Amino acid sequence: MQFKKKVTIMNNAGFHLRAVAVFVKESEKFKSDIKVRNEEIEADGKSIMGLTTLGAGKGVEIELKADGPDAKEAIMRLAKVIADKFGEAE
């Protein structure tokens, strides 16, 4: 099963190391293959290093893609992590 969703980065600092770590802790819980795309750059949604190469700052729209048995749940969960600003207080 494939599932896609576009989401906008909401936290001030963007997709920085700490935020990415929060994201990966969630993405690793899913069996599906997860990809994150910022324009022409695509990264593995389970790799901290990969995700930091996206350089997605506040206000940037990224695309989440999942392929696998729990694709929909994975995308819904990860979109929420981003919407919740990775739990960062601001």
- Select from 5, 10, 13, 72 the one that contacts another protein (CB under 8 A): 13
User: Is 62 near another protein (CB under 8 A)?
Assistant: no
Per the annotation, the verdict on 16 as an active-site residue is yes
Q: Which residue lies nearer to another protein by CB, 57 or 68?
A: 57
Among 5, 10, 16, 42, binds another protein (CB under 8 A): 16
Instruction: Report how far residue 42's alpha carbon sits from residue 52's, in angstroms, rounded to the nearest whole number.
Output: 11
Element (H, E) at 6: strand 2-8
46: which DSSP letter? T
Interaction between residue 25 and another protein (CB under 8 A): yes
In angstroms, the CA 89 to CA 10 distance is 12
